Amino acid sequence: MSGVTAIKRAESYLANIAAKNPEFNIFVSQRNQNNVIDEVKTSALDTDKKLAGQVFALKDNFCTTELPTSCGSKALENYVSPFEATTSKLLREAGGTFVGKVNMDEFAMGSNNMISLYGPCKNPLFSPDTPRSAGGSSGGSAAAVAANMCDFALGSDTGGSVRLPAAYCGVVGFKPSYGLISRYGLVAYAQSFDTVGILSRDVATCETVFDLLNQHDSNDSTSLSDQLRDQICLSVAEKRRDDHKFTIGIVEENNLDLSDEVRQAWIKAVEFLHAQGHKVVTVSIPSVKHSLPTYFILSPSEAASNLARYDGVRFGYRAGTDSDQGVLYAPTRNEGFGDEVRRRIILGNFNLGSDFFGNHYRQAQKVRRRVQHEYNAIFRTPNVLTQGEDVNNILDENVEFERVDVVVGPTSRTTAPTHDEVNNAEASVESYVNDVMTVPANLAGLPAITIPVGLGASTVGIQLTGQFGDDKKVLEVARILERINQQ
């Protein structure tokens, strides 16, 4: 991209932010515009850099030294981090220009980006007068990409928070395998699930960003070691498809209560892949039906521990000393956190209490392992993390499945609901149910990407999921599926 093109494009992004942000509430803080343009000017000339001239946004839970990192919460309102997230640092070193922070559900808990200190984010594909959900919790990241406010954005995906908003906003959303991208500087929600994800308008951009961020970070204790990365490369290479023809699975258990549009898009995607010469087979992962309850036991339990640090002593919001609620800790947390976050902290502590630990937390961990093993039984590529564990008896012996390269399914049960529909839905249960398609990949740590599939005037997110570490194959099939929109 020439310097002039890059500057023009960056200027159009800034103009879109200025024009649309007041109505859609996507950005929550922005860098000085002259600095942004100056940086793009310099970076565009440095064509050796992978992200020369590109502009990106960050979800408000990535630590940056330049703007506040509030996680959409009063508990961290105006909090400025003393250090920079590894991901943000790597993007800037590669020539990317950071434009600002985007809206999110408080502490990444939610599916519609309607629970935020800054108010709800609106989906830019629809009129702001009858607003529709941008999806959550990374609603701002998806909306910023869909509204042409940046080239790409980072979000975090704990149970689907990159893929669900990407599906609702008609963009690409990729959650890599757990541990590939550093979480250093990503504010924790549930650390054994949290994954940095990438949102963009095409798979090529997403892959460029992934390739850059996919490296070990000694600051993150869960970042995969170089040795494990080498093992993954070997095991993936063994199962490579040199003819680029893949076996694609349809998971029986995904055949749930889907909206007509979603079902049609799923069929269209499967027919397209079949027409391109790939083999389509049906597979079963019986335990995925237990994914939601498992996720909603484990993730609040981890959240309860992670969020204990917001005590009003070291950083963030502190309640006034004249509070009538007694000591500092309780009023600080009562006033700092919103209803949903408080609900999850209570739920998490309940599950971890000695009376319920065995029945809830430990059982849920077992189901999580089971889901992982069942995925291992359907993929051609072995899982380097669980090698040596017996997976052969996991599926019903009478059923013979052909092993698959990736599975294809819907990203969500419906397209974006209106804000009114979300508000009228019964408590939070309806929004919890919407994570049913995305949560399994987080339980098993698998790579999963959503691709917008055009259907008349609208788009529906279709998801591809692969074996742990087989991220490049998932991206390759995604590039094939993306062509469905050029027909």
Residue positions annotated with a catalytic role: 59, 137, 161
Q: Does 60 bind ligand GLN (CB under 6 A)?
A: no
Residue 253 carries which DSSP code?
A: G
Residue 52 · residue 46 · CB < 8 Å? yes
Nearest-approach distance from CB 80 to ligand GLN, in angstroms: 23
Length of the chain, please? 487
Of 21, 43, 97, 161, the one binding ligand GLN by CB under 6 A? 161
Nearest-approach distance from CB 339 to ligand GLN, in angstroms: 13
Q: Does 196 bind ligand GLN (CB under 6 A)?
A: no
CA distance 126 to 134: 10
Nearest-approach distance from CB 415 to ligand GLN, in angstroms: 17
CB atoms within 10 A of CB 19: 12
Nearer to ligand GLN, 71 or 475 (CB): 71
Site for ligand GLN in 137-156 (CB under 6 A): 137, 156
CA angle 110, 114, 118 (to 5 degrees): 115
DSSP 3-state assignment of 448? Answer: strand
Nearest-approach distance from CB 435 to ligand GLN, in angstroms: 5
Choose the stretch contacting ligand GLN; rule: CB under 6 A; options: 7-15, 102-110, 315-323, 417-425.
Answer: 102-110
Q: Does 444 bind ligand GLN (CB under 6 A)?
A: no
Nearest-approach distance from CB 41 to ligand GLN, in angstroms: 35
Q: Does 176 bind ligand GLN (CB under 6 A)?
A: no
Residue 102 carries which DSSP code?
A: E
Of 14, 17, 85, 108, the one binding ligand GLN by CB under 6 A? 108
Nearer to ligand GLN, 13 or 193 (CB): 193
Nearest-approach distance from CB 158 to ligand GLN, in angstroms: 4
CA distance 323 to 228: 52
Residues 6+ apart with CB under 8 A from 213: 87, 90, 91, 180, 181, 182, 196, 198
Nearer to ligand GLN, 9 or 175 (CB): 175
Nearer to ligand GLN, 30 or 156 (CB): 156
Residue 72 · residue 60 · CB < 8 Å? yes
Q: Does 178 bind ligand GLN (CB under 6 A)?
A: no
Nearer to ligand GLN, 113 or 381 (CB): 113
Q: Does 189 bind ligand GLN (CB under 6 A)?
A: yes
Nearest-approach distance from CB 351 to ligand GLN, in angstroms: 14
Choose the stretch contacting ligand GLN; rule: CB under 6 A; options: 77-85, 157-165, 371-379, 451-459.
Answer: 157-165
Of the candidates 346, 402, 393, 343, the residue with the CA atom closest to the CA atom of residue 373: 393
Q: Does 159 bind ligand GLN (CB under 6 A)?
A: yes
Choose the stretch contacting ligand GLN; rule: CB under 6 A; options: 103-111, 220-228, 330-338, 388-396.
Answer: 103-111
Q: Does 109 bind ligand GLN (CB under 6 A)?
A: yes
Residue 101 CB-half CA count within 13 A = 22
Size of the site for ligand GLN (CB under 6 A): 14
Residue 181 carries which DSSP code?
A: B
Nearer to ligand GLN, 54 or 70 (CB): 70
Q: Does 73 bind ligand GLN (CB under 6 A)?
A: no
In the sheet that 172-175 helps form, which strands lie side by side, from edge to edge? 27-30, 97-102, 55-59, 152-157, 195-200, 172-175, 448-455, 458-466, 406-410, 247-251, 279-283
Site for ligand GLN in 19-58 (CB under 6 A): none
Q: Does 412 bind ligand GLN (CB under 6 A)?
A: no
Residue 38 CB-half CA count within 13 A = 5
CA distance 354 to 468: 33
Of the candidates 215, 211, 217, the residue with the CA atom closest to the CA atom of residue 50: 211
Q: Does 118 bind ligand GLN (CB under 6 A)?
A: no
Tokens of 446: 């698998």
Nearer to ligand GLN, 430 or 482 (CB): 430
Site for ligand GLN in 278-337 (CB under 6 A): 299
Nearer to ligand GLN, 278 or 360 (CB): 360
Nearer to ligand GLN, 43 or 137 (CB): 137
CB atoms within 10 A of CB 258: 19
Q: Does 157 bind ligand GLN (CB under 6 A)?
A: yes
CA distances from 465 to 3, 214, 262, 452 (A): 37, 18, 17, 15
Nearest-approach distance from CB 441 to ligand GLN, in angstroms: 11
> What type of residue sits at position 288?
V
Q: Does 160 bind ligand GLN (CB under 6 A)?
A: yes
197 exposure class (CB count in 10 Å sphere: 0-12, 13-18, 19+): buried
Phi, psi of 185 (to 5 degrees): 90, 5
Interface with ligand GLN (CB under 6 A): 108-111, 137, 156-161, 189, 299, 435
